[in-house]
Chains A and B, each alone.
Chain A
Amino acid sequence: MAMIAYQGLRVRRIDQVISTDDIIPGRYKHMFTSASDLVPHLFENLLPGFAATFDHGDVLCCSQTFGIGSSREQAVSTLLAAGVRAVVAPRFGRIFFRNAWNLGLPAIEVDTSSFLESECMDLDLVGGHAHCNLTTIVFPAPPRQMLEMVEQGGLLALLAKRYSRSIPLRG
């Protein structure tokens, strides 16, 4: 297992319960299938203007439960397309949590109260710690299968590899 670590992530704080409706409103995900079409509408209702400030290498730090409600995977694919590399929160909505790991976006359950907006964060998944300013928060390292999904580009990339290996060569 290679080391999966992110250095120099920028903390983006959110201080309320977030539903997947808040991340991406229902109508847009029925209109568009490309995540880049959805990015301008990220958090459109709840936090107008927030999406425009996202940058590659952001880490969302939510102080409350993140991603409750609808199963929409676009809540994850749109965050990824906007540059978000990881999400940390004390708790996650169950389906969002699965979707995040399935698409290779680490969702880590930690107490986020010590992380401040725009601070720099280093995140080591295998070691199980998040380091921010002078604080280090420890968490149980995710199971090997979940780390593998992040490393290999997601659940379906892994599945496609397995399938291509299982198809016998003709000749």
Chain B
Amino acid sequence: MTAPMVEQIIASHSDCGHVTEGDLVTAKVDRVYLQDGNSPTICRLFERYGFHGVFDPERVAIFFDHSVIAPDKEIAARLREAQAFARRLGVKVYAAGEGISHVVALEEGWYEPGSLTVGSDSHTCTGGVNQCLALGMGASDCVAAMVTGEVWLRVPGTVWLDVIGTPSSNTHSRDVAFYILGRYGQSPFLYRSIEWMGGWFDELSLDACATVANLGVELGAKCAFLPAGKNRSSMLRPIHPPAEGDPRRLKVDVEGLPPMISRPNSPEDVVPIDECKGTAINYVFIGTCTSGRLDDIAQAASVLSQGKVKAGVQCLVTPGSKKVFLEAIELGYIEALIRAGAIISPPGCSACLGTQGSIPATGDRVLSTMNRNFLGRMGNASAEIYLASPLVAAHAAIKGEIPSARELEQWR
């Protein structure tokens, strides 16, 4: 049997000709990227341990995305420290306004197929869309990778997720990933590498595939790899699953699957949309590294171009990158959203984690397209956060409540 993708990539980046599950190995890193929120901590670690440079400044980047519009003087001060740190190291800088690291990294070719990337943010796993072994890690791991160009890894086992059938036409790729999280929990995927497969992926857009890769960390996985397909890099390799019946191969039937909702306060508390229909919503947030790409903005605009944001509802839309923003302007999406009553904020992580506005008020009920709804995630533990796709979120903005699956069908 051909070795799992994660083993092939780790082996090709280490001195070992061959690695297997459980091996502890030191692997060479192709790229490292940080975000603004943990760069100040990483800067302090460089100072404390007396490190001065990085293994290759061309292969290290700092993205300013978590606090594009600094919400207070402490965070503003940390951003200045991060900027100075980036200048000192001479690494690449993606300034505030360029977009979310994981969106821009894909656009800029940082996720080369077969390469190994370390990122200081947990959603670095997005790189799996290009079959890049992209690993989210903490500050110390990032420092070690930046200084030495190496990282210690425990080789994970692999699970093959075989998606069969076709979901309903209003069901987004993220709904499939959340359905699997809700049904199986994290246990089958924790610490493991996921190789996605199945005919459903053939026609999916690159944006929809990036969403699936991005949610790897929500499933508990170390990394995820997407299969080759029509709209993806021609460098992608075929997935080689074990034979049917092998316990590592999990078959998931998504035939007719409706859109999914995660209820407060766990991404794992997933139910079909109809179990939440009619739930009043007064704050809708569309964006993030999960659902802030052009496809997502297009879906929101297609709904909101035919209605208005309900009075009393705040609808915030944040393009994932400058490129997405400019294309969305050119295609008329942004105008449609603004005319419908949405607020557009500059590319970045926006309201996802309470490190910039808009913070929900106490008692608010939020419907968001982000990836996590842990208690207090958006900066107020007294707001409730539901998670859903951009299509569902746009409908909720118009209705002021979560729509039913039937309403979505009728709208089509």
Contact = CB atoms under 8 A, between A and B. Distances in A.
B137 A45 contact: no
B140 A25 contact: no
- Chief secondary structure at chain B's binding surface: loop
A1 interface: no
A56 interface: no
Nearest to A29: B37
Contacts of B74: 30-32
B300 interface: no
A159 interface: yes
Given A31-B78, A156-B144, A45 B381 contact: yes
Given A103-B140, A156-B49, A69 B374 contact: yes
A69 B140 CA distance: 17
Given A33-B41, A95-B137, A102-B140, A21 B372 contact: yes
A143 B24 CA distance: 9
Given A31-B78, A102-B140, A71 B381 contact: no
A29 B38 contact: yes
Contact of A45 (B40, B186, B375): B375
Interface stretch (A7-15, A72-80, A111-119, A122-130): A72-80
A110 B231 CA distance: 44
Contact of A29 (B41, B43, B48, B220): B41
Contact of B217 (A26, A44, A69, A163): A69
Given A71-B138, A73-B138, A19 B144 contact: no
A33 B43 CA distance: 9
B141 A102 contact: yes
Interface in B30-51: 36-38, 40-41, 43-45, 48-51
A157 to B, nearest CB: 7
A33 B38 CA distance: 9
A46 interface: yes
A25 B376 contact: yes
A69 B372 contact: yes
Given A31-B75, A46-B375, A26 B354 contact: yes
Given A29-B37, A33-B40, 17 more contacts: A21-B376, A22-B374, A27-B353, A30-B37, A68-B186, A69-B218, A72-B38, A94-B191, A94-B221, A95-B137, A95-B138, A98-B137, A99-B140, A156-B48, A159-B49, A159-B143, A164-B50
Interface of B: 24, 36-38, 40-41, 43-45, 48-51, 66-67, 71-72, 74-75, 78, 120-122, 136-141, 143-144, 147-148, 152, 186-187, 190-191, 217-218, 220-222, 266, 268, 353-355, 372, 374-377, 379, 381
